[in-house]
Amino acid sequence: MSGQPAEQKLWGGRFTGATDPLMNLYNASLPYDKKMYSQDLEGTRVYTMGLEKLGLITPEELKEIHRGLEIIKTEWSNGKFIEKDGDEDIHTANERRLGEIIGKNISGKVHTGRSRNDQVATDMRLYVRDELIKISKILKNLIETMIKRAEKEINILMPGYTHLQRAQPIRWSHWISMYATYFTEDYKRLLQIIDRLNVSPLGCGALAGHPYGIDREFIAKELNFNGCIGNSLTAVSDRDFVVETMFWSSLFMNHISRFSEDLIIYSSGEFGFIQLADAYSTGSSLMPQKKNPDSLELLRGKSGRVFGNLAGFMMSLKSIPSTYNKDMQEDKEPLFDAMLTIEHSILIATGVISTLTPNKEKMESSLSMDMLATDLADYLVRKGVPFRETHHISGECVRKAEVDKLSGIDQLTIEQFKEIDSRFDDDVFDTFNFEQSVERRDATGGTAKSAVLKQLKALSDVLN
């Protein structure tokens, strides 16, 4: 690439010498910000409507500008837009092409009172809004898929874990509901971010405001913004919505990573609780028996990539002085990468959860009677014994079964139970039932069938 004559650049009037070719490359953002072509053209379309209201362009000129913008949009969408040397960014490329179509006498008016500072801020907000709305829809579909699966398979029991040690029996649907709850909270946060970013910076110029008194409220309404950013300095320099989006992405990917880790463990030969569909697994180049959960491992791995995008941009942003600085160009690549990774991750997670096969027999055979030790303590609580005392008594029963090398505490005789505590009766053996154990936990948030269905209904209500 050769040095570009300064007079061809939007900012070239001050400069007489050519730019270092490497600087042209280093400075350019078109390779990645051209994905905002539609938002850039829409911002110009509405902005010129505001200029026409001021009488700075005529109705005929406005019509011609809009005709040119439609042609450019078609060229981009059809892959026929020709990029040229000197197209630093999407704004420069679109304005250059508009001049070729309708002539520079008219196209030269579209930037009146506008700066690339408020233009890029507008493009970014429009683009991020559109992308996050799309992401919210596929995230909603993921949650709905999980809810349907949980409702269908609500009768499957499995071990619940703390410290990755078997703890108490739960429903498979209760496990699904846990992550559906995480993702629903993510969904709610996402809608809040969309609402917060949906304010217009357009009409603030480079930093000091608009010299011709353009109707910013009119422009905001036409672009479907909820209002205007109230300070011109803030308007051109604010990238909090970028940080929020990447933070949201990081938090969501944290949930996806934990979801994936659980399923990786459950799909292992040692657990065998689930089997992944072939579409989301791969084999080994050496060992023909292997079925690897690559989809889940990639979901887990890509979380680090998204976290890194956030950390990197925060380091770029933290010491920038007020208003616009070129450092802010570093917002696009990590943001775009994070949003694309999120979109793909949600789609993969939806595919995984909708096609995996649970192994009911394996899950339920992994339940063991020691997991009912708390139920044994609760049995005595219902007879009026303080829980701290019953906890100790139940522990004594577990120890006795271990010392006698019994398969479980349910194998103790009633005489052995009474030796430990005389308040045990014959009905103690009713405690050793996994289905009854989960059904006893019917308070809100519990793993009883009624409680799980209540959870799923509440999640559905949020989505609707």
Q: What is the CATH number of the domain that holds 416?
A: 1.10.40.30
Half-sphere exposure of 440 (CA within 13 A, CB side): 17
Could you tell me if 144 and 29 lie in one domain? no
DSSP, collapsed to helix, strand or coil, labels residue 158 as strand
Could you tell me if 232 and 340 lie in one domain? yes
Query: How many domains does the chain divide into?
Result: 3
pLDDT greater than 70 at residue 162: yes
Q: What average pLDDT does the chain have?
A: 93
Q: How far is CA 299 from the centre of its chain?
A: 12
Q: How far apart are CA 203 and CA 231, in angstroms?
A: 11
17-21, 192-196, 232-236, 457-461: the lowest-pLDDT one: 17-21
pLDDT greater than 70 at residue 308: yes
Query: Given this model, what pLDDT does residue 374 score?
Result: 94
For 413-456, how does the pLDDT look when each residue is reduced to its tens digit (9 = 90+)? 999 999 999 999 999 999 999 999 999 999 999 999 999 999 99
Cα separation values, 308 from 186, 241, 259, 300, 312, Å: 19, 17, 20, 14, 6
Could you tell me if 284 and 183 lie in one domain? yes
Q: When comparing pLDDT for 15 and 176, which is higher?
A: 176
Could you tell me if 301 and 189 lie in one domain? yes
Query: Given this model, what pLDDT does residue 11 score?
Result: 44
Query: Given this model, what pLDDT does residue 252 score?
Result: 98
Could you tell me if 247 and 192 lie in one domain? yes
Query: Given this model, what pLDDT does residue 284 score?
Result: 58
Q: Is residue 71 part of a domain?
A: yes
For 231-257, how does the pLDDT look when each residue is reduced to its tens digit (9 = 90+)? 999 999 999 999 999 999 999 999 999
Average pLDDT score over residue span 329-348: 96
pLDDT greater than 50 at residue 1: no
Q: Which stretches within 83-115 are classed as H helix?
A: 90-102, 104-107
pLDDT greater than 90 at residue 291: no
Q: Is residue 420 part of a domain?
A: yes
Could you tell me if 289 and 353 lie in one domain? yes
pLDDT greater than 90 at residue 288: no
Q: Is residue 1 part of a domain?
A: no
pLDDT greater than 70 at residue 276: yes
Query: Given this model, what pLDDT does residue 28 score?
Result: 76
Q: How far apart are CA 84 and CA 156, in angstroms?
A: 61
CATH of the domain at 243: 1.20.200.10
Q: Which residues does the annotation mark as catalytic?
A: 163, 284
Average pLDDT score over residue span 52-66: 98
For 5-49, how does the pLDDT look when each residue is reduced to its tens digit (9 = 90+)? 444 555 455 545 555 677 676 767 888 899 999 999 999 999 999
Could you tell me if 179 and 232 lie in one domain? yes
**φ and ψ at residue 223, rounded to 5 degrees:** -95, 10
Final residue of a domain: which of 84, 107, 130?
107
Query: Closest by alpha carbon to 115, among 123, 126, 104?
Result: 123
Query: Given this model, what pLDDT does residue 428 score?
Result: 94
**φ and ψ at residue 56, rounded to 5 degrees:** -85, -20
Q: How far is CA 395 from the centre of its chain?
A: 44
Could you tell me if 342 and 396 lie in one domain? no
Q: Is residue 250 part of a domain?
A: yes
Query: Given this model, what pLDDT does residue 10 score?
Result: 55
Could you tell me if 84 and 99 lie in one domain? yes
Q: How far apart are CA 399 and CA 396, in angstroms?
A: 5
pLDDT greater than 80 at residue 463: yes
CATH of the domain at 97: 1.10.275.10
Average pLDDT score over residue span 385-396: 93
What is the percent of the chain with per-residue pLDDT over 70, rounded to a whole number? 93
Could you tell me if 59 and 128 lie in one domain? no
pLDDT greater than 70 at residue 263: yes
Per the CB < 8 A criterion, the answer to whether 248 and 190 are in contact is: yes
pLDDT greater than 90 at residue 258: yes
Tokens of 72: 């450019």
Look up residue 78 and give its amino acid: N
Checking 417-426 for CB contacts under 8 A at 24+ apart, the result is 420/393, 420/396, 421/380, 421/393, 421/396, 423/380, 423/383, 423/385, 424/380
Final residue of a domain: which of 55, 75, 107?
107
Residue 2 banded pLDDT, cuts 50, 70, 90: very low
Residue 289 banded pLDDT, cuts 50, 70, 90: low
Q: Is residue 333 part of a domain?
A: yes
Q: Is residue 261 part of a domain?
A: yes
pLDDT greater than 60 at residue 4: no
pLDDT greater than 90 at residue 259: yes
Could you tell me if 144 and 169 lie in one domain? yes
Could you tell me if 295 and 416 lie in one domain? no
Q: How far apart are CA 320 and CA 325, in angstroms?
A: 7
Residues with Cβ within 8 Å of residue 2, at least 6 apart in sequence: 18, 21, 85
**Domain with 245 in it:** 116-365
Query: Given this model, what pLDDT does residue 283 score?
Result: 63
Q: When comparing pLDDT for 291 and 137, which is higher?
A: 137
Q: Is residue 198 part of a domain?
A: yes
Final residue of a domain: which of 365, 392, 426?
365
